[in-house]
């Protein structure tokens, strides 16, 4: 009953097969191979327009180098208070931007509130240089609380960002899960809604090590090859990242894998709703589930083989859990076995 993280999952057989098929022989290095170019064209098809795509090794690199690409002196990136770039990237965005700051914005359920975004932006007056200057807004889709922005909500945030000539970046570590949950197309979720740069995640959803930075206006990506090289993310044998993404995007595999993990999370949610020993902390729709259990129940589950993370309550919710309770996060993946979900549901019934 492994629900710690989708990062614990292995690689899908089709991904492995593609790696093996493309491992032999010689191929041009540094992104110049035929398979690299084929995958770049595939991204154009997925997003229904010409994009500039750059392979990197981690989601942290994708986010940090995206910010470096739009950096300004005294730069500030506005993000949700509990965004991954604030809480889980060990200062990498600040490091790779040479000192840009992450400015938190409040909002319920892990999502930026547009009113609060406007209010925070108003704090940065162009005539007050001491505060620095905003350079981007970033949204996580899904957010750290497992919740989702609708396409309309993304459009609103994009409008606010673009009013100030700011880039809208999307952290899409679980981008496929968001697409499946909302039934939106990749284009609808991103550039048609006003997103300028996407950190496209695949590692959590069946790949071994494959992430990408996608610019929806290729002209804005002219300096990014140098930024990626300086950031030590230009792999010589990029064909091995490309080989993973080739299989990942083939015949909609990426969406099928995300649909499975979302369905397994739905089953977990249903088990929690029926339980007398657990309750949902808040409603989610993707492959992350947050539950409140008694501390003794959490210990019992672990003794029976369940693996999950204790989770910090969101800021501003001090009464969410009781003194003897624990907030936990459960994450399903493309390889989650339905039998494990059934066992977990039985354990909390």
pLDDT tens figures, 40-68: 999 999 999 999 999 999 999 999 999 99
User: Cβ distance 67 to 100 under 8 Å?
Assistant: yes
Strand boundaries in the chain, DSSP class E: 52-56, 75-80, 101-105, 133-140, 167-172, 197-201, 211-215, 278-280, 288-294, 309-310, 325-331
Please name the helix (run of DSSP H) or strand (run of DSSP E) that holds residue 19, with its range, or none.
Answer: helix 13-21
Tens digit of pLDDT for each residue in 100-115? 999 999 999 999 999 9
Distances (CA, A) of 255 to 48, 148, 193, 202, 302: 16, 17, 20, 11, 31
The predicted model scores a pTM of 0.96
The whole-angstrom separation of Cα 17 and Cα 251 is 15
Q: Please state the rounded mean pLDDT for residues 199-212.
A: 97
**What is the rounded radius of gyration, in angstroms, for the C-alpha atoms of the chain?**
20
Task: Indicate the angle between helix axes 239-249 and 34-47, nearest 10 degrees.
Answer: 40
Query: Is the predicted pLDDT of residue 144 greater than 80, yes or no?
Result: yes
Q: pLDDT at position 316, please? A: 76
332: nearest Cα among 342, 347, 321: 342
102: nearest Cα among 59, 138, 72, 144: 138
Exposed (0-12), middle (13-18) or buried (19+): which is 332, by Cβ within 10 Å?
A: buried
Distances (CA, A) of 46 to 14, 39, 97, 175: 19, 10, 29, 13
Query: Is the predicted pLDDT of residue 318 greater than 80, yes or no?
Result: no
Tens digit of pLDDT for each residue in 307-317? 999 999 888 77
């Amino acid at each position: 009953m492994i629900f710690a993280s989708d990062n614990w999952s292995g690689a899908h057989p089709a991904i492995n097969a593609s790696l093996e098929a493309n491992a032999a022989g010689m191929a041009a290095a540094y992104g110049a191979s035929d398979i690299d170019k084929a995958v770049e064209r595939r991204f154009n098809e997925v997003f229904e327009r010409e994009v500039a795509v750059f392979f990197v090794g981690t989601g942290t690199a994708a986010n940090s180098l995206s910010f470096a690409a739009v950096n300004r002196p005294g730069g500030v990136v506005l993000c949700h208070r509990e965004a991954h770039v604030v809480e889980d990237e060990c200062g990498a965005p600040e490091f790779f931007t040479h000192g840009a700051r992450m400015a938190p914005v409040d909002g319920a359920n892990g999502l930026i509130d547009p009113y609060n975004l406007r209010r925070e932006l108003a704090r940065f007056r162009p005539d007050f240089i001491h505060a620095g200057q905003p350079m981007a807004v970033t949204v996580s889709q899904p957010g750290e609380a497992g919740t989702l922005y609708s396409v309309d909500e993304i459009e609103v945030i994009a409008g606010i960002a673009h009013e100030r000539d700011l880039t809208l970046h999307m952290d899409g570590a679980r981008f496929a899960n968001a697409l499946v949950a909302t039934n939106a197309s990749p284009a609808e979720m991103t550039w048609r809604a006003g997103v300028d740069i996407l950190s496209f995640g695949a590692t959590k959803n069946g790949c071994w090590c494959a992430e990408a930075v996608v610019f929806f206006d290729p002209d804005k990506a002219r300096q990014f090859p140098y930024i990626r090289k300086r950031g030590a993310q230009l792999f010589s044998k990029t064909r091995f990242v490309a080989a993973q993404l080739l299989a990942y995007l083939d015949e909609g595999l990426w969406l099928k894998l995300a649909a499975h993990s979302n369905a397994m999370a739905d089953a977990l949610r249903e088990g929690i709703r029926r339980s007398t020993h657990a309750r949902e902390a808040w409603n989610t729709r993707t492959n992350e589930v947050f539950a409140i259990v008694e501390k003794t129940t959490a210990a019992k589950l672990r003794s029976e083989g369940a693996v999950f993370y204790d989770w910090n309550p969101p800021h501003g919710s001090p009464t969410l859990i009781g003194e003897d309770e624990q907030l936990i996060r459960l994450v399903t993946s493309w390889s989650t076995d339905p039998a494990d979900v059934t066992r977990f549901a039985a354990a909390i019934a």
